[in-house]
Amino acid sequence: MRLPLTVLVFALFLLPLAAHAGSDHIITQKGKKFSPGEISIKAGDTVTFVNDDKTRHNVYSRTKGHKFKIKKQKPGDEDSITFDSAGAIDVRCAIHPKMKLVINVSD
């Protein structure tokens, strides 16, 4: 009887941690465009940038408090970033300046 009680207590301890786990979101790059062009996520969520294009991309943001730069992505590459704080984040491609994405992060 002691083992099941220990397992139950351990499971109850982990439940709040699972409730705070972030979600994953996919942004594709194809035809020199981000798809979708705007998303809304929650703080703690992860966004994966997938290069489904025939050309390289270099994803970055200069938004205050949310600056990042992904290495040059070859076709087929993917990289993930977790966003921990709220804000509207403008994302661009350094190689293709017309590529634009907005990530709206809420608490």
List the structure tokens of 47: 């966004």
Give 4's contacts (C-beta < 8 A, 6+ positions apart). none
The pTM assigned to this predicted structure is 0.80
With beta carbons less than 8 A apart as the criterion, state whether 57 and 92 touch.
Answer: no
| 26: phi then psi, degrees, rounded to nearest 5 | -110, 130
Domains of the chain: 22-106 (2.60.40.420)
> pLDDT tens track of the chain, all 107 residues?
555 655 444 555 555 555 556 899 999 999 999 999 999 999 999 999 999 999 999 999 999 999 999 999 999 999 999 999 999 999 999 999 999 999 999 99
3-state secondary structure at position 66: coil
Strands 87-93 and 78-83: unpaired
With beta carbons less than 8 A apart as the criterion, state whether 50 and 26 touch.
Answer: yes
